[in-house]
Chain A
Amino acid sequence: MPEFKRPHALADVTTHYCPGCTHGIVHRLVAEVIDEMGIEGETIGVCPVGCSVMAYDYFECDMLEAAHGRAPAVATGVKRANPDKFVFTYQGDGDLAAIGTAEIVHAATRGENITVIFINNTTYGMTGGQMAPTTLPGQVTQTTPYGRDTSNEGFPVKVCEMLSQLDGVALAERVTVIDPANVRKAKAAIRKGFEFQKNKQGFSIIEVLSTCPTNWGKTPVEALERVKTEMIPYYPLGVYKEGAVR
């Protein structure tokens, strides 16, 4: 009989996420990979500041809560002290691509053997929907009330494209979770990231195009549609870099 149940590494609690927020799907995928690899006891996660700030309550592995943007540095500290353990960060776009840009770039270029789960939902969800580094041109947010004007706010940061230029990166892949087929691909990418880490083959980042129905002012189902029609054309899915760096 086929079964589908909560993975052990995902804590049996109700999350604080809004209805339809895809954080929950991505959490489950990370937990499923941890279960399938049998590494919960050897895994240490690092949470960001942002909507997933309380992810430390949602995973059953040991967890650390980092300062805003610093998760890759915190993960580096954990990993260097414990090179045989699995270390992942779970970060949003404000955390990773704005305040934490230096930390992510340098963890990547060092080829730090960690796996980064990067949630791109084009907004600062936790603080109520301000412009993120990934906010699309023209997108209305609380701090771009007339739409993101590239002559004033500049352009979105394309994280996978940028990091794929660095020699320390073993995997840079952009996925989404808007339908079951894409969820499967996202999980496969996360698994790949952990496998690179297992083999000490370099830094891996999996960027997940995600939704924020609340701050987008859309229903959860409409939000999935926006990922397809607006985000994917700007942030094409796919593998940007793959291969062991050492």
Chain B
Amino acid sequence: MAEKSLMKGNEALAEAAIRAGCKCFFGYPITPQTEISAYLSKRMPKVGGVFLQAESEVAAINMVYGCAGSGIRCMTSSSSPGISLKTEGISYIAGADLPCVIINVQRGGPGLGGIQPSQADYWQVTHALGHGDFHALVFAPASVQEMVDTVTKAFDLADEYRMPAVILADGLLGQMMEPVAFEDVEIKMSDASGKPWAASGHGGKRKHTIINSLYLKPDELENTVRERFARYEDVKAKHTEAVCDYCDDAETVVIAYGSTARLAKSAVEAARKEGIKAGIVRPVTLWPFPVNEINEACKNAKNVLVVEMSMGQMVEDVKLALNCSKPVEFYGRTGGIIPKPAEILAKIKEMGGKN
């Protein structure tokens, strides 16, 4: 591990992508993620990679489709309104079983919303990232270092399962500076080797490949979707992640992801200092959702508090995960307002002992 340096979340993530072998980046400017594009526009030409600013988010995600379809590691990034535009392409990427990494540095919505941090795209990213039956891998890092560490994992799992992977950050993580260290790796741009399905030119050596999501025969389409969902079960079994702290004896378990989880953890630690038995679960993967981890962490809890920078979206998945076995309450701020640990602590106290 090299020395630590101080970097902005967006820039650190961009550097991590290069180190993960991402050869091509296709983007479109939008606050608060533009530093990713700016950084890669400087770095990519120096390392033999490709940076291209597309004419729209729609074009950018379709460039990703083409590039990924030819077997090359590639990435795009955007923020909430831009992700809405990309959902068409993401559905096609999922339908054609292509691997890629998509970054969403969330801002407030709906519509243009605002440019301050938000977590109001949870529903979209986990439940409706485009039309049709499909999922994307969704990672929710909580620090700049974790953003860096997640990128390689996201590319590797996307390749392994041939599916899109989303890193769901927010304006807070993207814009803040923290010390970060990169593993010493040789920068090696990806090629299509090991991807016999890729449309990269058959060279007269094999039958032609077709990258496609169209199946006009219903039974073929159903079989294809079922095969994909069987793969999803494997992902769920092997790659669901959550971090649990102070949960063993916790009477109130707080559940939060991303930057909100750090604020919530401060509140939980403050509660502990006051003798309140509080714990915290931080889902690291939002899809697959850590259902078992949450149930295990909440087994002694009297109640559960979900904290989000939204009007309450993940809270529904928590209720489903617990299957109504515990009362679940919600505290959230939205519109770009970051909940303060003191506000969360007050909510924990209010819930204290209730069941």
18 A-B pairs with C-beta separation under 8 A: A42-B203, A54-B214, A60-B208, A62-B198, A62-B210, A64-B65, A64-B210, A65-B210, A65-B211, A65-B212, A65-B213, A70-B59, A70-B62, A73-B58, A77-B24, A77-B64, A81-B24, A81-B50
Q: Contact between B70 and A44 (Cβ–Cβ < 8 Å)? A: yes
A41 at the interface (CB under 8 A from B): yes
Shortest distance between the CB of A81 and any CB in chain B (Å): 4
The 4 closest A-B pairs by CB, nearest first: A77-B66, A73-B62, A77-B63, A77-B67
* Bound: A44/B211 CA distance, A: 11
* Bound: A78/B192 CA distance, A: 12
Q: Contact between B210 and A73 (Cβ–Cβ < 8 Å)? A: no
> What are the interface flags for A209-237 relative to B under an 8 Å C-beta threshold, 1 for contact and 0 otherwise?
00000000000000000000000000000
Known: A61-B202, A102-B55. A80 touches B67 (CB 8 A): yes
Q: Contact between A103 and B55 (Cβ–Cβ < 8 Å)? A: yes
* Bound: A60/B209 CA distance, A: 9
Knowing that A46-B66, A74-B66, A81-B23 touch, tell me 20 more A-B residue pairs with CB under 8 angstroms: A40-B202, A41-B201, A41-B204, A44-B70, A44-B201, A54-B214, A63-B209, A63-B211, A63-B212, A64-B65, A66-B66, A67-B92, A77-B26, A77-B67, A77-B69, A77-B70, A81-B50, A81-B74, A82-B200, A82-B201
B258 at the interface (CB under 8 A from A): no
Interface range on chain A: under 10, 10 to 19, 20 to 34, or 35 or more?
35 or more
B52 at the interface (CB under 8 A from A): yes
| Interface of A, helix, strand, loop or mixed by DSSP | helix
Q: Contact between A40 and B64 (Cβ–Cβ < 8 Å)? A: no
Q: Contact between B200 and A85 (Cβ–Cβ < 8 Å)? A: yes
- State which of B26, B56, B64, B92 has its C-beta within 8 Å of the C-beta of A102: B56
Q: Contact between A76 and B203 (Cβ–Cβ < 8 Å)? A: no
- State which of A40, A59, A60, A64 has its C-beta within 8 Å of the C-beta of B212: A64
- State which of B24, B65, B201 has its C-beta within 8 Å of the C-beta of A62: B201
Q: Contact between A76 and B201 (Cβ–Cβ < 8 Å)? A: no
B291 at the interface (CB under 8 A from A): no
A56 at the interface (CB under 8 A from B): yes
Interface range on chain B: under 10, 10 to 19, 20 to 34, or 35 or more?
35 or more
A206 at the interface (CB under 8 A from B): no
Q: Contact between B201 and A64 (Cβ–Cβ < 8 Å)? A: no
* Bound: A102/B28 CA distance, A: 14
A75 at the interface (CB under 8 A from B): yes
B144 at the interface (CB under 8 A from A): no
B81 at the interface (CB under 8 A from A): no
CB nearest to A106 among chain B residues: B55
B46 at the interface (CB under 8 A from A): no
CB nearest to B216 among chain A residues: A54
Shortest distance between the CB of B23 and any CB in chain A (Å): 6
B residues adjacent to A (C-beta < 8 A)? 23-24, 26, 50, 52, 54-56, 58-60, 62-70, 72, 74, 88-89, 92, 96, 198-205, 208-214
* Bound: A81/B67 CA distance, A: 6
Q: Contact between B66 and A78 (Cβ–Cβ < 8 Å)? A: yes
Q: Contact between B72 and A81 (Cβ–Cβ < 8 Å)? A: yes
CB nearest to A38 among chain B residues: B204
Q: Contact between B55 and A62 (Cβ–Cβ < 8 Å)? A: no
Q: Contact between B50 and A80 (Cβ–Cβ < 8 Å)? A: yes
Known: A56-B210, A64-B199, A67-B62. A73 touches B54 (CB 8 A): yes
CB nearest to A103 among chain B residues: B59
Q: Contact between A41 and B66 (Cβ–Cβ < 8 Å)? A: no
Q: Contact between B200 and A76 (Cβ–Cβ < 8 Å)? A: no
| Chain A residues whose CB sits within 8 angstroms of the CB of B67 once the complex forms | 77-78, 80-81
Q: Contact between A41 and B24 (Cβ–Cβ < 8 Å)? A: no
Q: Contact between A74 and B63 (Cβ–Cβ < 8 Å)? A: yes
| Chain B residues whose CB sits within 8 angstroms of the CB of A65 once the complex forms | 96, 210-214
- State which of A63, A75, A76, A106 has its C-beta within 8 Å of the C-beta of B210: A63
Q: Contact between B201 and A80 (Cβ–Cβ < 8 Å)? A: no
Q: Contact between A102 and B201 (Cβ–Cβ < 8 Å)? A: no
| Chain A residues whose CB sits within 8 angstroms of the CB of B50 once the complex forms | 80-81
* Bound: A103/B210 CA distance, A: 22
Shortest distance between the CB of A14 and any CB in chain B (Å): 16
Q: Contact between B203 and A74 (Cβ–Cβ < 8 Å)? A: no
CB nearest to B63 among chain A residues: A77
Q: Contact between B74 and A76 (Cβ–Cβ < 8 Å)? A: no
Q: Contact between B204 and A62 (Cβ–Cβ < 8 Å)? A: no
CB nearest to B207 among chain A residues: A60
Shortest distance between the CB of A119 and any CB in chain B (Å): 19
> What are the interface flags for A97-141 relative to B under an 8 Å C-beta threshold, 1 for contact and 0 otherwise?
000001101100000000000000000000000000000000000
A53 at the interface (CB under 8 A from B): yes
Q: Contact between A80 and B205 (Cβ–Cβ < 8 Å)? A: no
| Chain A residues whose CB sits within 8 angstroms of the CB of B204 once the complex forms | 40-41
Shortest distance between the CB of A166 and any CB in chain B (Å): 13
